[in-house]
């Protein structure tokens, strides 16, 4: 009776991808990024599977506390750091490692002068204009942190265009290198794209996220083409099949018109499950061992697929929306977004099966 719309999460794939990332950057330690519920794959599953990483990284203090409550005791970095007294107490209590990127955090630290951390990551603004202290403050802040609060300051920044051959990459690295020249401590610059494609940014710590899930950060290559394995397989089943005549239209808004007599399969997944509503007709869907095409606007609980003439599809057959046969990167292109968003927006209605 249970609905068979499921996301199968393959922990072996997560571990394989970590291994591939390590081979690509053998001299760097890995902070495996598991924010946003492990990029939608399930925080517990992902945090457990990736314990071989040198540390885990999350966005928020709350996510860090969740990891501790799962009984995981390794290092956990909080990429946005603490924002109030409650946060800073939780960071201390649960032995999380904070990123410091703004003056309000310095003030909180001064108000808690007795605190100390195994490591603090000092984030510098080098061109993305999101988080980070102005690079010229690096030396002053480094000294202040090291004299009061920690024995080790990791110097970090984040690139705005790492997945592209963009001139800003070299510019950001140059601003960073000038700011940290002569300061002791490890460096960290790279997300997945930089760790993969920009060797000069690998440094002491890389911070890969998307690659660990088997997804490529580059638009011209899929994860599989990089040697990665997709960690999420999003599947559902056919709940109805019917014949449409040439000229019939499908679904809300009648967006899709059948150009010829066509068999249509109705699949039990829609935007209420996180499948993108804004996707174009023709997006690939894997049905009965073949690639079929999405036809019509997905609705909340269902979508419709035009079956190939020789399809053997039947009611109850499993359908793959992305995963083994259909790269999620390809779905992202049809939906005019990035695969990051697709995996993150799978809703709570979709059961996760860990394999
Ligand atoms: C999310 C995040 C990462 C990981 O990025 P990917 O593109 O998924 O590899 C790395 N560093 C920071 C600061 C992040 O916020």
pLDDT, tens digit (0-9, with 9 covering 90-100), for 239-266: 999 999 999 999 999 999 999 999 999 9
Give the mean pLDDT of 161-174: 96
Whether 129 shows a pLDDT value over 70: the answer reads yes
- Across all residues in the chain, what is the average pLDDT? 97
Residue 286 has pLDDT above 80, yes or no: yes
pTM surpassing 0.85? yes
Rounded distance between C-alpha atoms, residue 81 and residue 175, angstroms:
23
Residue 352 in this model has a pLDDT that exceeds 70: yes
| Ligand 1 neighbour 127 (Cβ under 6 A) | no
Average pLDDT over residues 90-94: 97
What share of the chain has pLDDT > 70, as a percent?
100
Asked whether 123 lines ligand 1 (CB < 6 A), one says no
DSSP character at residue 183: -
Distance 193 CA to ligand 1 centre (A): 9
Ligand 1 atom, smallest distance to 162 CA = 7
Angle at 353 between CA 350 and CA 355, to 5 degrees: 155
Pairing between strand 284-287 and 290-294?
antiparallel
| Mean pLDDT across 215-231 | 97
Residue 284, pLDDT > 70, answer yes
The set of catalytic residues is 35, 252
Mean pLDDT value of segment 85-95: 97
Shortest-distance atom of ligand 1 to CA 59 = 15
Number of H helices, E strands in the chain: 11, 19
When pLDDT is averaged across residues 224-247 and rounded to a whole number, the result is 97
Nearest partner of 305 among 323, 325, 291, judged by Cα: 291
Instruction: Output the DSSP codes for 83-140.
Output: -SHHHHHHHHHTTPEEEE-SHHHHHHHHHTTT--BS-EEEEEESSS-SS-EEGGGHHH
- Predicted confidence at residue 3, as pLDDT, reads 79
Q: What average pLDDT does this structure show over 1-30? A: 95
Backbone angles phi, psi at 134, to 5 degrees: -55, 135
- How far apart CA 5 and CA 269 sit, in angstroms, is 7
Sign of torsion, CA 43 340 105 189? positive
Banded model confidence at residue 9, pLDDT cuts 50, 70, 90: very high
Here the tokens at position 127 are 């061109």
Of 44, 41, 77, the closest CA to residue 205 belongs to 77
**Ligand 1 contact via 210 beta carbon (within 6 Å):** yes
pLDDT, tens digit (0-9, with 9 covering 90-100), for 50-80: 999 999 999 999 999 999 999 999 999 999 9
Q: Tell me the mean pLDDT in the region 5-19.
A: 98
pLDDT at 1 over 70: no
Q: How far is CA 338 from CA 20, 220, 331, 345, in A?
A: 22, 12, 9, 11
Provide the pLDDT for residue 2. 73
Is the CB–ligand 1 distance for residue 201 below 6 Å?
A: no
**Neighbouring C-beta atoms of residue 294, cutoff 10 Å:** 23
């Amino acid at each position: 009776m249970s609905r068979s719309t499921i996301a199968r999460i393959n922990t072996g794939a997560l571990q394989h991808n970590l291994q591939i990332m390590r081979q690509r950057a053998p001299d760097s330690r890995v902070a495996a990024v598991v924010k946003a519920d492990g990029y939608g794959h399930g925080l517990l599953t992902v945090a457990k599977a990736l314990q071989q990483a040198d540390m885990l990284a999350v966005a928020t203090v709350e996510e860090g506390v969740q990891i501790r409550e799962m009984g995981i005791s390794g290092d956990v970095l909080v990429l946005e750091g603490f924002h109030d007294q409650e946060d800073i107490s939780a960071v201390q209590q649960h032995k999380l490692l904070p990123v410091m990127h703004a003056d309000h955090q310095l003030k909180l630290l001064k108000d808690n002068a007795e605190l100390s951390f195994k490591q603090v990551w000092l984030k510098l603004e080098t061109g993305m204009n999101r988080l980070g202290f102005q690079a010229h403050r690096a030396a002053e802040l480094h000294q202040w942190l090291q004299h009061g609060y920690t024995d080790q300051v990791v110097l970090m920044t984040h690139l705005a265009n790492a997945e592209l051959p963009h001139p800003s990459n070299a510019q950001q690295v140059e601003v960073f290198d000038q700011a940290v020249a002569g300061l002791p401590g490890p460096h960290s610059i790279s997300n997945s794209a930089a760790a993969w494609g920009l060797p000069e940014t690998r440094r002491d710590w890389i911070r890969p996220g998307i690659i660990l899930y088997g997804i490529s950060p580059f638009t011209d290559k899929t994860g599989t083409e990089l040697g990665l394995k997709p960690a999420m397989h999003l599947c559902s089943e056919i709940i109805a099949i019917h014949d449409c005549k040439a000229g019939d239209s499908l679904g809300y808004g009648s967006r899709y018109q059948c150009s010829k007599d066509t068999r249509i399969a109705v699949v039990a997944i829609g935007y209420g499950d996180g499948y993108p509503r804004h996707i174009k007709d023709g997006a690939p869907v894997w049905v009965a061992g073949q690639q079929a095409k999405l036809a019509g606007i997905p609705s909340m609980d269902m979508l419709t697929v035009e079956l190939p003439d020789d399809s053997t599809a039947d009611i109850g057959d499993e359908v793959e929306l992305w995963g083994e046969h259909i790269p999620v990167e390809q779905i992202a292109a049809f939906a005019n977004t990035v695969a990051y968003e697709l995996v993150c927006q799978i809703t709570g209605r979709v059961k996760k099966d860990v394999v």
